[in-house]
Structure 1
Amino acid sequence: MSKVHEKSPKDCAKKRFNINKFHKKFFFSFSTFLLAILSLVFLVWLILHPKKPQFSLKDVNIYQLNLSDSNLINSTVRLTLSSNNPNKKVGIYYDVLQVYASYKSQIITQETSLPPFYQGNEETNLLSAALDGYQIPVAPSFGYEVGRDQRIGKFVLTLKVIGRLRWKVGTWVSGRYRFNVNCIAILPFNSIPSGPLSSKQGTVCSTIV
């Protein structure tokens, strides 16, 4: 007859204790490592503290703003923006840039995408955009608002940029952050306009990251 070896409840309890101890040790080591990495990233971020990019509107021209009887608008807008990175040690990747124009909170052009680019430390770039709108629906009051601005002699146009960016510190690159840029342009609007509505007065835009 062969001898049967049976583990006592004490041995099973000891084995379960060792497994639990290993899992706890592994979890503690992993948590410590992850915390160290996050602390390092936060420390770098805290020391450098990237400043949000600065945008300004250099010039804007409205070549077309035609409203049909069915409250549909065709528009043509051309503009130039200046983008500045104020950081001394942080670069910026602009992955997504979309520009559009609005009037009295009503969108009058389609969104136009600009090519992505990298902006180095304390670098400034000029961005040109051609915005067009075709058969865009607007509120019935649109024509009245334009007529009122024409009598006043000022046409207030809002230019917006929406996109996503990444910060670059040395070889480290952050995740994507959304940003929004809002520019207000005031264009002279004569009672009998000749040529496009134009403004070459520099306007500082507000930026939210």
Structure 2
Amino acid sequence: MSQISEKSPQHCAKKKLVNISNLQKKLFLTFTTFCSSILLLILIVWFILRPTKPHFSLKEADIYQLVVSGTHLLNSSIQLTLLSTNPNQKVGIYYDDIQVYAAYRSQQITLYSSLPPFYQDHKDTNLLSTLLVAYALPVATSFNYDLGRDQMAGRLVLNIKANGLLRWKVGTWVSGKYRFNVNCVALFVLIGPSAGPLTFKQGTQCVTTI
């Protein structure tokens, strides 16, 4: 005698749920494996290329005005040119934001000047020029004394600083944003009275951190 077995509707429903659950697990595993492979590939490419931080140098700077009015209000005007170089062989750089300003004895002496965003291809070089100004900018009460003492000594040291955001480009892949900081030291030598601007033209390498 043969035995007839009937499956209840509840049993069929459970079997369908098991099949759906297995399918979801397979899809999730496939998706996870794909994402992991892409991430691993990016990390391998990143490790092989290892982007080098950009190089900055101060080409020239002209001080047209650096005068304290009253006891602690500064008027300043400084024209400068920076040279930016991408030293990488296969990595491009997007500069999304660059803010430049000048400092004297750790005091900011100009307002921020914004440079327009730009893309720098590998082994490429760009000249960046801007005018830094300030009107009635509050400074320390000792500023005028320090400035006069340095002028009497015949030398004036300024820091030209920049900060902003950059992204690395490898092929079609573009990284997230990284903050960078640039610090350039400019030594101005005063030789007798001069009717023109105080000029720095020696050129100097800047320190860049990311």
TM-score range, shorter chain: 0.7 to 0.9
**Secondary structure class of the residue paired with 2:196:** coil
Is structure 2 residue 68 aligned with structure 1 residue 45? Answer: no
Q: Which moved more, 1:182-191 or 1:83-92?
A: 182-191
1:162 aligned residue: 163
1:81 aligned residue: 82
**Secondary structure class of the residue paired with 1:146:** helix
Is structure 2 residue 95 aligned with structure 1 residue 133? Answer: no
Q: Structure 2 matches for 1:1-209, cutoff 5 A?
A: 21-190=22-191, 192-209=193-210
**Secondary structure class of the residue paired with 2:48:** helix
Q: Once the 2 structures are TM-superposed, how far is the Cα of residue 175 of structure 1 from its aligned partner?
A: 1.8
Q: Which amino acid aligns with 1:177?
A: Y
Q: Distance in 2 between matches of 1:136 and 1:29?
A: 61
Q: Distance in 2 between matches of 1:116 and 1:127?
A: 11
**Secondary structure class of the residue paired with 2:82:** strand
Q: Distance in 2 between matches of 1:90 and 1:127?
A: 20
For 1:18-68, what per-residue CA distance to the aligned partner results, in whole angstroms no more than 9, with x for missing partners?
565444434333322221111111111111111111000011111101112
Q: Which amino acid aligns with 1:172?
A: W
Q: Which runs of 5+ in 1 are unaligned?
A: none
Q: Distance in 2 between matches of 1:136 and 1:18?
A: 73
Q: Which amino acid aligns with 2:68?
A: L
Identity between Structure 1 and Structure 2 (%): 55
Q: Which amino acid aligns with 1:187?
A: F
Contact residue 150 and residue 190 of structure 1 kept, 8 A: no
Provide closer, same or farther for how the CA distance between residues 145 and 191 of structure 1 changes in structure 2, counting only shifts above 3 A: farther
Q: Once the 2 structures are TM-superposed, how far is the Cα of residue 194 of structure 1 from its aligned partner?
A: 4.0
Q: Distance in 2 between matches of 1:151 and 1:70?
A: 19
**TM-score, scaled to structure 2:** 0.87
Q: Distance in 2 between matches of 1:27 and 1:189?
A: 71
Q: Distance in 2 between matches of 1:164 and 1:52?
A: 12
Q: Which amino acid aligns with 1:151?
A: M
**TM-score, scaled to structure 1:** 0.87
Q: Once the 2 structures are TM-superposed, how far is the Cα of residue 14 of structure 1 from its aligned partner?
A: 6.3
Q: Which amino acid aligns with 2:181?
A: N
Q: Which amino acid aligns with 1:52?
A: K
For 1:102-131, what per-residue CA distance to the aligned partner results, in whole angstroms no more than 9, with x for missing partners?
111111111111122111121111111111
